Structure formats: C-alpha cells, structure tokens
Amino acid sequence: MTGWLLRRGTDALLTTLCAIVALIALVQFLPGDPLTAIIGDHAVDATQRAALEATWGTNRSPMEAIGITLANMVRGDLGISLATQRPVTTLIAERLGPTLLLGALTLLVTFAIGLSLGLWSALHPTTLRARLIGGVTLVGYALPSFVIGMLLVWSLAGPAGFFPPAGFGDPLLAMEASPGAVLLDRLRHLALPLLTMVIATVAVPLRQQRAAALATAGQPWVLAARARGVLPARLAIQHVWRPALTPIVTLMGLWLPMLVAGAVFVEALFGWPGLGSLIATSTSQRDLPVVIGAGSLIVLLVQLGSLLADLLYRIVNPAQRDA
C-alpha cells in the first residue's frame, strides 16, 4: 500500500505541475490586454503604459512569465491582482469559505438524496414512482442551473417570501447578533443556492447508483440472500448497495473540484461571494494572477480528488487492494 501510495502520489504531483505550467502558458495567449484591468476605459500616455507594463510584468515573454510565476508559487506567492491590487492569496482565502460551504453541502445533500433514491429505484425498477423520480430529476439535470435558480427566486423569494433572493448573509443583522440569529440567517441565504445546485445535479449520482445497484441486484449472492430470508433493508444495504458503491466512489472523487469551481452561474445569480464568481470576473477582466492562482487551486483539487477516489476505491474493493 505504501509503495502504491508513493507511486500514485508522484504521478499526481507531476501531473499537477504539468497542468499548472500548461495553465500559465495558455493564459499568456488569451486575447485581450491584461492592463485593461488597471487602466479601464481611460486613456494613458506612453510613459504610464511603459511603467505599468514594467511594474506588472505584462511585457514578459511567455517563458519568462512561466518561470517567474512557478518560482513565486513555490514560495507560496500567487502574485497581486491587477484589478484590486491585493494579494491573490488573500482574495482566494476570502472567497474560499462560502464556496466550500456551498460545494460541500451540495455534495453531501446531492449524494445522500441521489444514492438513496437510486438504490430505491433499482429495487423497485418497474414502479411508477421510480419512473417519476428518474424523469423529474432528469428534467432538473437538463435545465441550466441559472434557469432553476431564477424559477426558485421567482417562486420562493421576494417581499413576501421567506428566502432572500441573493447574498450570503443579511448585512443589516447587528454585529452583536446571537449565534442562533446568525445561523438562521445563514441557512435562509443558503437555501436557494443549495436547492438550485441539488436540483441541477442530483440526477447524476441517482442514475449511477441506480445502474450499479440494478446490475448488482441480479447477482447470485443477492438471490441467495433473498432465498435465505434476509430482511429487505439488510438485503438492500449489505448485499446490493455496498458492492454497487465502487463507481460512486470514483464519481465522488471526480466531483471534488466542484467544491471550488462548480457553481459559477449559481454564485453569480445569488450573489454568493465565492471563488466561482471570482474566477468568472477575473477571467473577463484578464486579471491573470487571479486566474492562474485560482486555476492552480482547482488543478490541485482535481488531482487530490482523483487520488482520494483511487484510495477509497482500493478500500472498498479488496480485489484492487491485492492487485
């Protein structure tokens, strides 16, 4: 196991490095002048432009830019945002909390609902209810997330609605408000973005789980257990669900990056102060240090997710452990 972990870890590290180099290189070739983030819609004279280029390093060759950016990254320095003139690490740190909260809860709720409904659908494949669940969740998956979000805002938010239409918290809530009031406020603000994300994504784990469980349900050990009179709940969990978990583990690992960057549209619509909206804004402004910094974080998470998925896969599948 240790040898496997070392080999797999080295692979992941090399892939991460290659991906970050590719990201930095590709960003250099994006159309658009990065200094636009600073200059905006104003005229600058030649002296000022030259000074800005020298200060912000936008006149470097791509190779030079890659080398300097990588060297700075190794020192933990992701550079300074052109648009806000603040350290990229600070900007990312400010936005990471709300993004992780929304992403983690989405993952948790989506998988909890998706796996349960998927297993239930596999055990009752011919029922009308199972077909309804499949159809409704598929409609949610087919609709763009911002459309779902707008429908939810229209129906559940507003002057008479309980849920606020946007934001992470009520700015008018007193600074000395009780933890209970703060918690309630956060939950109210979280409800609609979370519901949007869940509706838009629940079909994926549901269908994966349903397909895997359907394949397992016909296996001889399930028939044998049923013949032995094993209770339905135990049959479902121990004999059907557990062996059907392997593809779900892989899926879960691949979804980890969504924790960070999977909700750009939802963050925008709900004014959620997360990393997704930071990346979207920075890309449109050509704020390259932020794009590279946040992009590298996503690369790192993709690799970590993949590594974690492989590790979990080996844990739940003994055959792999021995391979």
Partner 1 sequence: MRRRTALNLLLLLGALGRVPLPAQQVPGTVVFAIGEDPTLPLPAITDRTSDTDLADQLFLRLAILGPTFRTAGDNALTPMLARRWQRTDPLTLVFEIDPRARWQDGVPVTARDVVFTWRLTMDPVVGKGRILMEPVASVEAVGERQVRVRFKRPFAEQLYLFSFNMQPLPAHLLERIAPAAIARSDFATGPIGNGPYRYVRRVPGQFVELRADPNFFLGAPTMARVVLRIAPDAAARMNLFLAGETDVMGDVQAPDALKIKERPDVALINVSHNLLLWIGINQRQGASGHPILGDRRIREALRLALDRRTMTNGIFGPSAGVPDAAQSQIWAWVTGGRMDGAVRDLAKARTLLAAAGWRDANGDGILDRNGSPLRLVMMYPNSSGARHSFALQAQAMWREAGVDVQLERVERAAFIERMNAGRFDLIIDGGNQDPTPSSLTQRWSCAAAADSASLNTLRWCDPTFDRLLAGAETAADPIAAYRAALARMASEVPAIVLAAPLNQVAVHRRYTNVQVWPTKSWLSLWQWRVRPDAALPRDR
For 161, counting Cβ atoms within 10 Å of its Cβ (0-12 exposed, 13-18 middle, 19+ buried), the class is middle
**Per CB under 8 A, 285 contacts partner 1:** yes
Among 10, 59, 127, 284, binds partner 1 (CB under 8 A): 284
Q: In the bound complex, what is the minimum distance in angstroms from residue 214's beta carbon to partner 1?
A: 37
- Nearest approach in angstroms of CB 64 to partner 1 is 20
By CB under 8 A, residue 79 contacts partner 1: no
Tell me: does residue 227 bind partner 1 (CB under 8 A).
no
Which range in 36-44, 102-110, 123-131, 229-237 contacts partner 1 by CB under 8 A?
Answer: 36-44
By CB atoms closer than 10 A (0-12, 13-18, 19+), residue 16 is middle
Helix (H, G, I), strand (E, B) or coil at 157: strand
For residue 164, the 8-state DSSP code is -
Which residues are bridge partners to 87 per DSSP? 80
Residue 171 engages partner 1 in binding (rule: CB under 8 A): yes
Given the rule CB under 8 A, which of 12-20, 42-50, 133-141, 214-222 is the region that contacts partner 1?
42-50
Q: What is the closest distance, in whole angstroms, from the C-beta atom of residue 48 to partner 1 in the complex?
A: 5
Q: Which two tokens stand for residue 242?
A: 């557990």
* 76 lies in the binding site for partner 1 (CB under 8 A): no
State which of residues 65, 101, 118, 185 lies at the interface with partner 1 (CB under 8 A): 185
As measured in angstroms, the least distance from the Cβ of 19 to partner 1 is: 23
Member of 3, 76, 159, 218 binding partner 1 (CB under 8 A)? 159
- Angle of helix 128-142 versus helix 179-201 axis, rounded to 10: 100
Q: The tokens of 28 are what?
A: 């250099």
Pick the binder of partner 1 from 21, 177, 214, 316 (CB under 8 A): 177
The angle, 0 to 180 degrees and rounded to 10, between the axes of the packed helices 88-123 and 246-255 is 160
Q: Which residue of 12, 19, 21, 44 would you call a contact of partner 1, by CB under 8 A?
A: 44
Counting contacts by CB under 8 A, is residue 184 touching partner 1? Answer: yes
CB of 92 to partner 1, least distance (A): 11
- Count residues binding partner 1 (CB under 8 A): 64
- CA gap 193, 211 in Å, rounded: 28
DSSP codes joined into one string, 77-138 = ---B-TTT-SBHHHHHHHHHHHHHHHHHHHHHHHHHHHHHHHHHHHHSTTSHHHHHHHHHHH
Of 313, 317, 292, the C-alpha closest to 8 is: 313
Length of the chain: 323
Please give the residues from 92 up to 131 whose contact with partner 1 meets the rule CB under 8 A.
Answer: 94-95, 98
* CA–CA distance, 52 with 38 (Å, rounded to integer): 9
Chain contacts with partner 1 (rule: CB under 8 A): 30-33, 36, 40-49, 51-52, 55, 80, 83-87, 94-95, 98, 150, 153, 157-159, 161, 164-169, 171-178, 180-181, 183-185, 268-271, 273-274, 277-278, 281, 284-286
